[in-house]
Amino acid sequence: MLAALLLAALGAADLVRRPGGRTHVLEVPFLTALAVFVLGAAALGFGREGIWVAVPAMAVVVAWLSAQTAARLYGLITGAAAVAAALLFGQHVPRHEPPIEPWYDSLEIPALQSVPLDAAVLGLAVVVFLVQSANVVVRAVLRKAGPAVLEEEQELQGGRILGPIERVFIFAMALAGQYAAVAAVMAAKGVLRFPEISRDAAGGSRAEYVLVGSFVSWALAFAAVPLF
């Protein structure tokens, strides 16, 4: 659950972050992440001990936001290492009966009747992370591939919109075991991008942008599935 809270905090911070701007502590993205983590911890039954885990968790948020400003892939890798350290720190944090559980059990949604509260919270957190934070990872990898590849993002801006939708759909379908639907989405992506790739320049940067961006995006969606 601490992993879910941290993913949700990072995702919420990126959703309200000003693109390209430097984010400091006590600004909206950081405060949003702090509110999501602390309120979520309280609702899920973590006492004062769980609230204290917010300290290393917010250090992860600061590292994550700072890495985006620095535009360095190694900064995001450092942030991922900090995530692992924060989760290890909070692994043995005691947890009480979640105050939100009676409300969750009272929901008359058939699809949720067989889904435990922990799995539902983790699924929601993963979706929040995949919407915008995953774009940060994809862009960092594209930047590492070279400036010519990253420049294609200005020409093919639809990826910023299609990418999150594609990731959430692939994650949901893979979680449900509908891999035929996943394959159909991947095939449709190839058909959609083929005309643009066919007009690629001699350097092949447009094809590289589509391939690298797509594979990293899909990998992020699939990486969350083993958590369930």
CA distances from 218 to 25, 36, 58, 107, 144 (A): 32, 26, 27, 32, 18
DSSP letter at 27 equals: S
pLDDT tens digits for range 97-153:
888 988 888 888 887 888 888 888 989 999 999 998 888 888 878 777 665 555 555
**In angstroms, rounded to a whole number, what is the distance separating the alpha carbons of residues 142 and 208?**
9
**pLDDT classification of 4: cutoffs 50, 70, 90:** confident
| CA dihedral of residues 197, 200, 202, 204 (deg, nearest 10) | -40
Q: What is the pLDDT of residue 146?
A: 63
Enumerate the H helices of 132-178 as residue ranges: 133-145, 147-155, 158-175
Proportion of the chain above pLDDT 90, given as a percent: 5
Q: What is the pLDDT of residue 171?
A: 93
Most confident of 18-22, 109-113, 189-193: 109-113
Q: What is the pLDDT of residue 212?
A: 79
Residue 95 pairs in a beta bridge with 46
**In angstroms, rounded to a whole number, what is the distance separating the alpha carbons of residues 97 and 77?**
34
Proportion of the chain above pLDDT 70, given as a percent: 70
